[in-house]
Structure 1
Amino acid sequence: MDIQKTIQDLRDELNQHNHNYYVLDTPTISDFEFDQKLKQLQELENQHPEFYDDNSPTQRVGGTITKNFNTVVHDYRMYSLDNSYSKEDLIDWETRIQKVLGNVPLQYTCELKYDGASISITYENGKLKRAVTRGDGFQGDDVTNNIKTIKSIPLKLKGEYPARFDIRGEIILPFEGFEKMNQELIEIGETPYSNPRNTASGSLKLQDSTEVAKRPLECLLYFIVGNNLNFDSQFDGLETARKWGFKVPKEAKLANTIEEVFEYINYWDTHRHHLPYETDGVVIKVNNLHQQDELGYTAKSPRWAMAYKFKAEQVSTTLNSISYQVGRTGSITPVANLQPVQLAGTIVKRASLHNADQIEKLDIRIGDTVFVEKGGEIIPKIIGVDLAKRNPESERTQYISHCPECNSELIRTEGEANHYCPNFYGCPPQIIGRIQHFISRKAMDIEGLGGETVALLFNNNLVKDYADLYELTVEQILPLERMAQKSAENLVNGVQKSKEIPFERVLYAIGIRYVGETVAKKLAKHYKNIDALQNASLMDLILVDEIGEKIAQSVIEFFENQENVKIIERLKEFGVQLELVEKFNPNATDKLAGKTFVVSGVFEKFSRDDLKKAIEDNGGKVGSSISAKTDYVVAGENMGPAKLEKANQLKIAIISENDFLTMITD
C-alpha cells in the first residue's frame, strides 16, 4: 500500500467535496461521510508526519495561535475605489475615461459591492501561500492561518494557473450564519454582535484559528493581479478564477453601454434585499485590461473603476445635545449626541454636524427630531429636521465662541468652513492628537504605543510633544495604569526602532497641515532632507510638482514657528531619519535626467511598471498625462488614441520600447 498516494488521494477527494459544498452549493456526500474521511486523513497524517502538508484539508480546523500578526508589504498595492451616488456621476466618469482613451468601444463589468473585510491572497505554484488584510493599501497583517479555516477558499487550485498571483476579495458573514451566532450568544446570556461586517473583520484578527474555524465565514473573490495572466478582461478573469476553484459571485454581468450599467443598478437596488449577505452598491470596471492599464491610477484609486453606492438608509431620532471635539490641528468638529437608533445594521448614538454653517443651514436645535443617514461615510450624518415635530419654544443653536478644552477664543480663517483653536501648543487635545498622528501606522508605526497610552503619558506629564517620546524610560512608564514590565519595555523599544522609519514617513508624521502621505513623498524626493525643505522659499515650493500655494504656505508657516524648529532639532539629535536614504542601484544612470516620459500601451520586453522604473532609474521622470512638459511618449501596442492625438498635436516625440532601450544602453 502506497501511504503517500493514499493520503494525497484523500486530500484531493476532500478538497473536491469542500468545493462542491462551499463553492458550488451542490454537496455529493453527507456531512457524516465527509467527517469520517477527514478523520481517516487526520489519523494517517498523524502516523506519517513526513508527509505533512500545510495545505491539507485537515489544516482548516484551525489550532494555530497567533499572538502578533506580522506586517506584510503587498506585492501590488490595494487601492480604494472612488464612490458615486448618482447616475450623473457615472456619466461624468465615462466622459473622463473617453477623454483619455478616445471614443473607443467600451465594455463594463458590473459586480455587486460586498460589505465585508478586504483580503489579498497570494498563490504560488497553485498553493495558498499567504493571506494579508488590506491595511493601509501598501501593507497589511498576515492572517494566513485564520484564512485557511474558511472552506470556500481553495488551498490548492485546479487546472492551469500562473506561477504566482494575488487574488482579492471580501471576507463576509452571511445573514443566516450571523443570526445563528447571535442566537447562541443570547441563549447563554452574552451580548450579540452588532453587524455582520464588523464581526467578519474582527474574526480575521482572532488569535486562535480554532475559533475562526467555528465561524461560518465565506470569501467572495473579484479581482486578480499578477504577471502573465492568461486572460485580457475583467470578466474573463472572473470566469478563470471560477475554473481555478474560487467562489466568484455569479451576479457579475457584462454591460456594453452605460445604459446597461444603469439597468444592472436598478435591478439590484431592489433585489439586493434577497441576497444572503450584505451589499451596499455596485462596482463598475472597464472590462478590457489593456484599457485599464492605459487609464492607470490616481494617488488613491483606479481611474478605470467606480463604486455606485445605493441610496443610504435613513431613520429619525431625537437630538439630545451637541458636543464639540478638538482635532490635532485645532479644528473644531460639532457632534450630535442622539437618542440611540438602529441604522444600517448598527446602533447609532452620534452623528457628525460638520461645522457652524451646516448647523445654521439646517437650523438644528436641541430636542429636534432629526433625520440621520449612513451613506458612503463611516460616520452617520444628520441630513434634515422634522419641523412638524419641533417644540415651538426651542431656541436656535449658538455655536461656541471659545475652545471647550482650553477656553481660547476660536478663530475662523477666511474662506474656510471650520473654526479653529489657535492655542497650538497649550490645548491638550491638539498636543495629544499630534503625538497620536506621529505614532500612527502610516507614520512612525511605533509598536507598543497606542492612542490611549499617548493620552496617559501626556496626562502624567511624561510627554508634551512627540520628541519627548525618545527620552522615555521603562522606569518612568512602569508606575502608569495598566503598564507591566514587558509592555513598558516594548514601548521603549518600539520608540527606538522608529528611528529606522524613512524620511518621507517622518515628514508625514510631524504633522505639517495639508501634507499627507503623497505630498510628503514628493517633498522628500525633491528636497532630500529636512534642512533643504526648511530653507525653501514659497516660490521654490510652489514649483515642486503638484505642490500648490496652499500646501507651500503651510510648510512655510510650520518652519516659521520656533517651537516646531526646536522639536525638529531634537528629533535630529535622537537619530530620527530626517534625510532621504537613496537605495543603491548599480544600474542607475542620469542618462534621462531632465526628461519627462509618458508610457502608453502594452509592451513585449517590459511590464508597464518595469518600464516606469527603468525611466526613473536612469534619472527620468514619469508623467501621468501628456502635456507641453512631456518630452517623449513610449508607445506600445494598443496605445490610447486620445494620447496619440494629443502627442501629435503637441509635436511630442513618440518612441518604441526598442528606441527607449537604445536611449538607456548607448
Structure 2
Amino acid sequence: MASDLDENPFLREPPTDFESVEELSATAAREQAEQLREAIRHHDRRYYVESDPVIADRTYDALLSRLEALEAAFDLDDEDSPTRRVGGEPVEEFDTVEHVAPMLSIDQSGDAEEVYEFDERVRGEVGPVEYVCEPKFDGVSIEVVYEDGRLIRAATRGDGQEGDDVTRNVRTIRSIPQVLSGDPPEFLAVRGEVFMPRDAFQAYNRERVERGEDPFANPRNATAGTIRQHDPAVVADRPLDCFFFEVLDSSDGWATRWEEDQALPEYGLKVNEHTERVDGIEDALAYREEMLERRDELNYEIDGIVIKVDDADKRERLGATARHYRWAFAYKFPARTEVTTVREIAVQVGRTGRLTPVALLDPVDVGGVTVSRASLHNPEEIADLGVDVGDKVRVERAGDVIPQVAEVVEDEVHGESHFEFPETCPVCSSPIERDGPMAYCTGGLACTAQLRESVVHYGGDDGLDIEGLGERTVRQFIDEGLLTDSVADLYEIDADELVALEGWGERSAENLLAELDATKEPPLADFLAALGIPHVGAATARELAREFGTLDAVIDADAEALEAVPDVGSVVAGQIRDFFDSAANRAVVADLRDHGVDPQDADVEGGDELAGLTVVFTGSLSEHTRSEAQALVEDHGGSATSSVSGNTDYLVAGENPGQSKRSDADDEGVPVIDEAEFEELLEERGIDIE
C-alpha cells in the first residue's frame, strides 16, 4: 500500500545516513522500500517532467542506492521499481504487438497553399473549428499503455497497426513514468515521441568522435538506433527523453485535444510547453512562423508544426483514411541548408595517432546529404577561420565527399577562437607531438582510441586480410570487452566468448578463429603493412621486406639504412623510426609474437626474371592473395603498381574485378589476362610459382 506523500520522509531534505540493512526487520525494510520508490518517482517527475528538482543529484543517487540495497537484501522484487531503469537482461529479438488503436501518419507539406486546402476541407465538412498547434518532433513515435496507473507495455509505431514491443527499453527512460500520478484512468494508451535532446546528442557524438567512431547523423538516427537496442542497459546509459501528445484510447474521455493536453501532466506524462490552441488557420500559420524563429533555441529537433482539430466529436466525424488522420496536417519547415551552428569542437584520434579537430554541427543539408560534423583539419585551420563554439558557419563538401567548414557566417566571439587544442591525447592522456600544423598522439598502438582503426586495418585488405573481421565486428569486440589493449587481444578470443555474442554461432566463431590462426605465420611484408606504420603501405612494406629480410632487421634499421630503400625517403624513414622507437608500439609487436605471430623472413636475394615488366592486379585471386602476387612480381625484378597507365604491361583480373581499372586498360590498350594466364607468364619466365 502506497504511503501518504505528506508523511514520506524522503521527499524534502531526505536523510541519507541510513541504518545498516542488517539491522532492519523484513517489515521495516518493505515499508522503507515502498517509501523510497514513491519518493524517487516523485523526484523523477520533478526533475524530468517539471524541470524543477527539489533535491541534489547526489542525494537522489543515495536514495536509489539505498533502495537497490533493500531490494537485494530482502528479495523485494517489483517490476515497477525505479531500480528497473538501469536496464535488465538483453533480449534476442523484439516481439511484435498490435496497437490498441491505429497509429496513423499525418499529411504534410511545406507549401502554405496545401495548409489552406486542408482548412477549407475541414470547415467544409464540420463547420468552424479551433485548432491545437504543437511542434512536429523529429524523433521516434511510440505507444505506451497503462492499466490501473501502471505501465504494462510500450511499442514502436511499426506499420501503424503493430510494432515492436520495446517495453523493457522504455522503462529505462526516466521522463516516462512507470506508475502514473494523481487519479489516472483505469486504462490509458498514449502516443509520444522519444527523442535525444540536442545537447545530449552533441555530447554523445563527441564521445563517439573521440573514440574514433563515426557520429550519428542526427538525433533521430541516434534515438532510433537506441530504442531498438536489444540490451536495455545500453538504452539506460543513453540520454533519451519523451513528449506525449495524443490519447490513443482511454477508459475516460475528453471533449477536446486541449483538455487532454492539460490532463496528461497531472498523471506525470510530459507534454510540450509550446503547444497552443488557436482560433483559425491564420493563427496556426503565425504559430508556425514563431516556432520557425525559435527552432534553433530549442533543445530538441523539430521539423515543422502539427495542426490538429481540437474538438473530439469533429475529429471523429472527419475520421481517417487507411494511412493518415483527416483531422491533422503537418506544415513542414524548410530544411537547413549549408549554414548551421557549431555546437561542439571535438578532437578525433585516427589510426596513425593524428589528432583532427571536428566541428559537431546542428544537422544541415549539404548537396542532399545530412551533415552533422565537418573537419577543421588542424589547429592552424581553426585559428585561420576564427571558428568557435556557437558560431554560424557555412559548410561545404570537399570534392562532394568530405564535409568541411568553409567560413564563419555569424561570429559569436568576434574573430577569435577560444578553443584550446589539448596538450595530451583526449583518450589515453599520452603527450601530443606537433609536426608543423599536424598533431599526433604518442600512445601508439596502445591508445584505445586508435585500437578500433588499428585492428580494422590489421585485418583488412591492406593488412592480413582476415575474413569476418570488419569494422562492425571490431566495434562489437571492443564494446563487449574482448579487445581492450591492442591487436594482440585478437589471439586471446576463444569460441565460447564468440558464441555468447549477439549474432554469432558456432560455425561463424570457428571460421573466424581459423582465419586468425592462419595469420600466425604471415609474410613479412604483409605484417609490416598490417601494423599501420604511417606512410607504409603494401608497396613500401614489400621494399622493406626485400631489403632487410627479417622483422628484427627492420626494427633495428637506422634512418640512413631506411632512406636507402627504394620508395622510402627521409620523411618516411623518420616515420618508421619513430614508430619502432615508441615503447608502446614495440610492446604491441612483442605481445603479438608472444601470442604466436611469427612473420616469415623474406627472400632478400630475389631475381630479375621480370625486370622491366609492370603489372597491375584487380579483383581477388584464388591461389594467392593480391599482396602475395605483388610481392612475387617485385621479388623477381618487376613492378606491381596500383593503377593502370600507358606504362602498364598487363592487367591481371581475378574474381569481381574493379570496373575502373578494366576501363583504364581498354583506354590505354593494356592487355587484360586472368590468373591462369598470369601463372603461364611466370612459368615462361622461369619462375616457380609453387
| Higher-Rg member (1/2) | 2
Give me the TM-score of the superposition, normalised by structure 2.
0.46
Q: Taking structure 1 as the reference length, what is the TM-score of the superposition?
A: 0.48
Higher relative CO (Cα under 8 Å, sequence separation at least 6) belongs to: 1
